[in-house]
Structure 1
Amino acid sequence: MAGGLVNQPKIAVDGVTKNFSLGNDQLVALDDVSLEIADNEFVTVVGPSGCGKSTLLNIVAGLEEPSAGRALVDGTPVTGPGPDRGVIFQQYALFPWLTVRGNVEFGLKIAGVPRAERRARAEHFIDVVGLTYFADVLPKALSGGMRQRCAIARAYAVDPAILLMDEPFGALDALTRVKLQEQLLRAWDRERRTVLFITHDVDEAVYLGDRVIVMAARPGRIYDVVEVDLPHPRTEEVRLSAEFAALRNRVWNSVYHQDDHRTAERTP
Structure 2
Amino acid sequence: MSTPKISVRDVQKVFPVGKEPFVALGGVSLDIADNEFVTVVGPSGCGKSTLLNILAGLEQPTGGAALVDGKPVTGPGPERGVIFQQYALFPWLTVRENVEFGMRTAKVPKGERRERAEHFIRLVGLEQFADALPKTLSGGMKQRCAIARAYAVNPSILLMDEPFGALDALTRVRLQEQLLETWSKERRTVMFITHDVDEAVFLANRVVVMAARPGRIAEVIDVDLPYPRDEDMRLSPEFGALRNRVWHAVYHQRQIKEPAK
| TM-score of the pair, normalised by structure 2 | 0.97
Task: Return the offset for 1:238.
Answer: 1.0
Structure 1 residues 190-226: Cα deviation after superposition (integer angstroms, max 9, x where no partner): 0000000000000000000000000000110000110
Structure 1 segments, 4+ long, off by >4 Å, are none
Q: What corresponds to 1:63 in structure 2?
A: 58
Task: Return the offset for 1:60.
Answer: 0.5
Q: What corresponds to 2:166 in structure 1?
A: 171
- Partner-residue secondary structure (3-state), 1:87: strand
Task: Return the offset for 1:259.
Answer: 2.7
- Aligned counterpart in structure 2 of residue 224 of structure 1, from 219, 222, 245: 219
Q: What corresponds to 1:148 in structure 2?
A: 143
C-alpha distance in 2, partners of 1:35/1:130?
A: 34
Q: What corresponds to 2:77 in structure 1?
A: 82
Structure 1 residues 150-191: Cα deviation after superposition (integer angstroms, max 9, x where no partner): 000000000000000000000000000000000000000000
- Aligned counterpart in structure 2 of residue 20 of structure 1, from 12, 15, 33: 15
- Partner-residue secondary structure (3-state), 1:140: helix
Specify the code of the residue in structure 1 equivalent to 2:6.
I
5+ residue gaps in structure 1?
Answer: 1-5, 264-268
C-alpha distance in 2, partners of 1:110/1:226?
A: 39
C-alpha distance in 1, partners of 2:247/2:127?
A: 38
Greater CA deviation, 233-242 or 50-59? 233-242
Aligned residues: 257
Structure 1 residues 23-69: Cα deviation after superposition (integer angstroms, max 9, x where no partner): 21100000110000000000000000100000000000000000000
Task: Return the offset for 1:102.
Answer: 0.3
Q: What corresponds to 1:180 in structure 2?
A: 175
5+ residue gaps in structure 2?
Answer: none
C-alpha distance in 1, partners of 2:108/2:79?
A: 16
Q: What corresponds to 2:104 in structure 1?
A: 109
Q: What corresponds to 2:254 in structure 1?
A: 259
1:132 equivalent to 2:127? Answer: yes
Specify the code of the residue in structure 2 equivalent to 1:123.
E
1:10 equivalent to 2:2? Answer: no
Structure 1 residues 73-126: Cα deviation after superposition (integer angstroms, max 9, x where no partner): 000000000000000000000000000000000010111111110000000000
| TM-score of the pair, normalised by structure 1 | 0.95
Q: What corresponds to 1:162 in structure 2?
A: 157
Q: What corresponds to 1:98 in structure 2?
A: 93
- Partner-residue secondary structure (3-state), 1:259: coil
Q: What corresponds to 2:210 in structure 1?
A: 215
- Partner-residue secondary structure (3-state), 1:82: coil
- Partner-residue secondary structure (3-state), 2:229: coil
Specify the code of the residue in structure 2 equivalent to 1:18.
K
C-alpha distance in 2, partners of 1:237/1:7?
A: 35
C-alpha distance in 1, partners of 2:10/2:61?
A: 10
Task: Return the offset for 1:239.
Answer: 1.1
